[in-house]
Amino acid sequence: MKNLIEVQNIKKNYGKKEAVRGISFNVEENEILGLLGPNGSGKTTTIGMLLGLLKPTSGQIFINNLKLEENRIEILEMINFISPYIELPKKLTVKQNLYVYSKLYKVQNIEERIEYLSEKLRIGELLNSITGELSSGQKNRVSLAKALVNEPKVLLLDEPTASLDPEVGDFVRTFLEDYKKEKKISILLASHNMNEVTRLCKSVLMMKNGEIIDQGKPEDLITKHGRTNLEEVFLKLSRSKSEFN
């Protein structure tokens, strides 16, 4: 399988603080990799570097075999991102927002693309609604539509189902599973929802204090650490002392 994301020994320092301490990992085509870790472990910083929003202090990132540092625009054309901490302009209608972002990503056949995403994400009835007036679940699906507007090869998800009710959360997870199978995209999923990670991810990376402290398939990690589920593994690793504590 081809690696769509290749991260080679990236570090990020803010002054003397080491936010990410030389991590490496790959994400294959048609794979969902989970990025786990307690708050402040370096997940968001890692995603920021993959999106080109943060410059690594050292190390290299390749997306679809292109070096990020030298091909920022080409790479941004093939990736996208969703996070509950960023929103679309509230005063625009859903359709206006999707249209604007389709233009920014130079999408061909915009109407067709919006129609396809509206059907898949069940937002057809929301297209003429004001984005700021939507519920959390509706906003989440609209943000997901925006994140898929450019048919990304790589999707970065930062807590994509945070603050959603179980039904909408399940809908989003099922959608992501189906979409990944259909389009064979790579997804990097940062989440605190261990059930979600167990269900969606082929393998996971456990981060703490800017380092990868363990990695593997969820079931293998559970066996390795003698626990009954991934949440227990997470708690064990989070509470363990590291040399940087």
Stretch that binds another protein, among 20-28, 76-84, 115-123, 188-196 (CB under 8 A): 76-84
> Can residue 244 be called a binding residue for another protein (CB under 8 A)?
no
Contact 133, 105 (CB under 8 A): no
Q: Which of residues 113-152 bind another protein (CB under 8 A)?
A: 146
Angle subtended by helix axes 110-121 and 166-183, to nearest 10: 130
* 28 strand-pairing partners: 3
Q: Please list, residue by residue across 193-207, b when 16 or more beta carbons sit within 10 angstroms of its beta carbon and e when fewer do.
A: bbebbbebbebbbbb
Q: Which of residues 16-75 bind another protein (CB under 8 A)?
A: 44-45, 48, 51-55, 72-74
Quote the least distance from Cβ 240 to another protein, whole Å: 27
Quote the least distance from Cβ 58 to another protein, whole Å: 12
Closest listed residue to residue 244, CA positions, set 37, 21, 7, 10: 21
Which C-beta is closer to another protein: that of 109 or that of 195? 109
> Can residue 224 be called a binding residue for another protein (CB under 8 A)?
no
Contact 49, 12 (CB under 8 A): yes
- List residues binding another protein (CB under 8 A): 14, 44-45, 48, 51-55, 72-74, 76-77, 79-81, 83, 85-91, 101, 104-106, 146
